[in-house]
A and B are shown apart, each in its own frame.
Chain A
Amino acid sequence: MSLIADLRTLLGDDRVLTEAVELHIYSKDASLMRGDPTCVVLPESTEEVAEVVRIAERHKAPIVARGAGTGLTAGASPINGGVVVSLTRLDDLDLDVDNRMAWVGAGVINLDLSVAAAPHGLYFAPDPSSQSACTIGGNIANNSGGAHCLAEGATTSHVLAVEVVLPGGETAVFGDAAPDPPGLDVKGVLVGSEGTLGIVTRALVRLLPLDPDVRTLLIDFPTLEGATTTVSEVVAAGLIPAALEIMDQNMMVAVENWLHGGFPTDSAAVLLAEVVGEPEAVVAEAEVISRIARANGAKEVRLAADASERAQLWLGRKSAFGAMAQVSPDYYLHDTVVPRRVLAETMNEVQAIADRYELVTYNVFHAGDGNLHPLIPFDASEEGMLEKVHQAGMEMVDACLSRGGALSGEHGIGLEKRDLMPESFSELDLDAQARLKEAFDPAGLFNPAKILPEGSRCFDFGGVRREIPDGAWV
């Protein structure tokens, strides 16, 4: 029987999608690279995922796991065709309030988990900007970050165990509710592996107690350096605020035009700082931040008066990428990280590169982490524009890497940054990563062609095409 016939026998006709319009929807994530899936399956249990894997492997078809499709690096784009495994129906959620944990299906939406935990005084810390849409499975695949991972760490710090369908179709649970499970930390390496080592179907995640108090400050600066220096000095003063986010003037204008949230659009930059904890802590820490900001030329320190004003400020921050829709039809978003001490000079360099290419950048970034997100709006229908943006983007990446930075802070490598990996790692380093992949997936059917560039290790991908389709942007 054919691949599709076998899958239909397992799942029925309505959970194996093959119509052109359906395949088109699942042919890419939120990046610019489109693949060509053979079919899309909608399993509803771990057992069904395992069976799908066995069927796909029997037919030597690539297996591409997918959550909500909010990824930005083509991690879920099935560029070699094959079976897209949509995990959104794995949405069970089982809270363990005593242990401050929850077993969650891969398809549970990030924000839904925190909403479900809130009545018990708990929340899930990783909060990507897409948290109202993205899934826990996707967060795990990309080790997603978010504005609040400065203080609490990215997704990997909050995943205690995973249930995973491994290549070959075997299901295993790695990790425990108890700390330090003996043996290799297989769970630790599955997080962030972008579906290339297995398909995580459920996870045991850590929940944190909601903070008794919070202060959110919006501080506007006449210069970007004032904002970045403030961030450094706040940390040097012994504080790790829950968030330290900077937005530049271009981005503020875009957000303000859309949301009318009262952002100071005449300032060069704003710093959005948030401190959480005991009531005395947030008062004292907000005072320290205000003092440092004023010493660095802050024009105004605005304290969110209540929960709704705080929500408004965060809505502005988290809507930044959405606000770009009114600016241009397409945008390209970077995700490099630099050591924090070179943050300001890197920003200047990024700006200089954009000027040289006659491009405009919009910046909103996790300043506390040194995680830059320069965003270049453009119109892909304009001839030569894509290449120009691409070229400028590569120079920006180089500007970060040459200062000791990393390729990606929270979006992942996927396909988009795959061929830049040799700029960060030696041949031996990449070979070691490819060996890890080989230990899990010797046939190379799990999300092929992602993370590692071709030739990282001389092994055969089991007859799967690895070339990149025309028009793909890598």
Chain B
Amino acid sequence: MLRLRRRETGDPGRGLGVTHPPAILQFETELPDTSAGAIGLAPGDTDDLAWILRYATEHQLVVDVRGGGSHHGFGSPPTPDLVVSMSRFDGVQEWHPDDLTVVVGAGTPVASLEAILAEQSQTAVLPEVPGNATVGGVIAAGLSSLRRARLLGTRERVLEVTVVTGDGRVVTAGGRVVKNVSGYDLPRLTVGAFGSLGVITSVCLKVLPVPESAATIVLDDPGQAVAAHRPLALLETSDWSELFLWGTEPEVDAVAGRVGGRTRRGLHWPSDPEGALRWSLRVPPAMVGAAIAALPEQWRYLAVHGAGDLRLASDSRAGAGHLRAWAESVGGHLVVVDAPPAALPDFDPWGTPPPGLELQRRIIAQFDPARVINPGRLPGGL
């Protein structure tokens, strides 16, 4: 079996085992530190990508797919032979504001997409502070908006998806309409699947109109939020609680008045907490208060009330084992989002494996039979 040799400076194609890689392939020169020795490729379309994946399947190469790299440490990232950048799958392909749908390349930064949609007062309800994250990356990693208690998560946004499977088939599922039950919901299956069904190349997302008015209210006590019926978000950190409202102006003004607290116009979203270790704590929605109480000292948090979603950061792993045990005892999960290499040698990033692993393995085998895309990155070593 062909294995890649260590890449040598100035000759990125060496070691691929092909004298003349197709001209369609563009080589990336800058690779992330964790991928030393891998070859970076930036395919320009699905044909290029299919060629690469077929090649990887044929030679049993491990493929790491990169969007913006913001969540590259999520799960158990493999040591890759090939790093495929999705940067050239960039841009809005189709957008008719009246349809409340947008078709976008997977490599498009979330921030760029939301900026374009905002010009027509629309939003795809993707993460509000995405950094470099791309649309495809957010979907593959299953990241959701802070507005999810009101508007639901990223799973609810993906109407159609085109993937290139591990063995190089270009497959589209779903449809470009807001409501569709034609065939199996493969688009939903790609959310949080880390590319195990194929590399996402483009998606059609359901977008929403943004109402005329919005406000961010600093609360003295998160309990004040009960005065608002289904607010856009209620967020809490160790330092503050904030209520986010949107709607018609009379509504936002009236609700802000009822709630009380310092009100700012517009939506002022916080970033996730920072630290050497980043975690995602997922609990039943009513357990958010208990989850905050269960956090080890010094851990920082951003809690999304009503959704059971807590984004955590810490400087050390101390207390993580206890927290995971507590989370799993209430039907939740403590997941490692990012950690320095070898920081958590005996700590599974996902925790206790989910049920039906054998079924999940059979599903993945139908799409990536040689298991070349992110092998082992999912729970249970899938």
Residues of A within 8 A of B (CB): 98-101, 142-143, 145, 149, 153-154, 156-157, 166, 172-174, 176-186, 188-189, 191-193, 197, 208-209, 211-212, 232, 235-240, 277-281, 283-285, 288, 337-341, 366, 369-371, 404-413, 417, 421, 424-426, 428-433, 435-440, 451-452
| CB contact under 8 A between A143 and B354, given known A184-B193, A184-B378, A280-B251 | no
Is the pair A409, B181 in contact by a Cβ cutoff of 8 Å? yes
**Within the complex, what minimum Cβ distance (angstroms) separates A129 from chain B?**
15
Q: List 6 A-B contacts (CB under 8 A).
A: A101-B284, A176-B284, A183-B354, A209-B229, A240-B209, A288-B248
In the assembled complex, how far is the CB of residue B166 from the closest CB belonging to chain A, in whole angstroms?
12
Once A172-B355, A281-B247, A339-B177 are accepted as A-B contacts, the answer to whether A239 and B211 lie under 8 Å apart by CB is yes
Partner of A183, one of B176, B178, B327, B382: B382
Quote the shortest CB–CB distance from A127 to chain B (angstroms). 14
Closest B residue to A337 using CB positions: B177
Interface-facing stretch out of B4-12, B82-90, B360-368: B360-368
Say yes or no: B185 contacts A409, CB within 8 Å: no
Measured between beta carbons, the chain A residues less than 8 angstroms from B99 are: 339-341, 370
Q: Knowing A277-B229, A436-B366 touch, does A183 contact B185 (C-beta < 8 A)?
A: no
Question: How far, in angstroms, from A154 to B284 measured CA to CA in the complex?
Answer: 22
Interface string of B352-381 (1 = CB under 8 A from A): 011111011011111100000000001110
Q: Choose from B152, B183, B208, B249 the contact partner of A425 (Cβ within 8 Å).
A: B183
The contact of A285 among B170, B248, B333, by CB within 8 Å, is B248
Most buried by B among A182, A212, A288, A408: A182
Q: Across the interface, which residues of B come within 8 angstroms of A406, CB to CB?
A: 175-177, 179-180, 182
Contact residues on B (Cβ < 8 Å of other chain), bracket: 35 or more
Residue of B nearest to A181 (CB): B354
Q: Say whether A281 contacts B248, CB under 8 Å.
A: yes
- On whether the beta carbons of B177 and A178 are closer than 8 Å, the reply is no
Looking at B100, B192, B367, the one whose CB has the most chain A CB atoms below 10 A away is B100
Q: Kindly state whether residue B33 has any CB partner on chain A within 8 Å.
A: no
Contact between A185 and B191, CB atoms less than 8 A apart = yes
Q: Are B366 and A413 in contact (CB under 8 A)?
A: no
Within 8 A of A (CB), among B167-199: 169-173, 175-186, 188-189, 191-193, 196
Complex: chain A residue closest to B356, CB-CB: A172
> Chain A nearest CB: distance from B270 CB in Å?
19
B321 part of interface (Cβ distance < 8 Å): no
Q: Flag if A189 contacts B98 (CB, 8 Å).
A: no
Cβ of B366 to closest chain A Cβ, rounded Å: 4
Instruction: Give the chain B neighbours of A429 by CB distance below 8 A.
Output: 171-173
- Known interface pairs A232-B98, A339-B99. Does A179 touch B188 (Cβ–Cβ under 8 Å)? no
- By a CB distance below 8 angstroms, the chain A residues around B350 are 182-183
* B37 within 8 Å of A (CB atoms): no
Partner of A238, one of B121, B152, B173, B335: B121
The answer to whether B250 and A451 have CB atoms under 8 Å apart is no
Specify which chain B residues have a CB less than 8 angstroms from the CB of A174 in the assembled complex.
354-356
Partner of B165, one of A338, A407, A432, A451: A432
Q: Does B309 lie within 8 Å of A192, measured CB to CB?
A: no
Q: Indicate if the CB atoms of B179 and A189 lie closer than 8 Å.
A: no
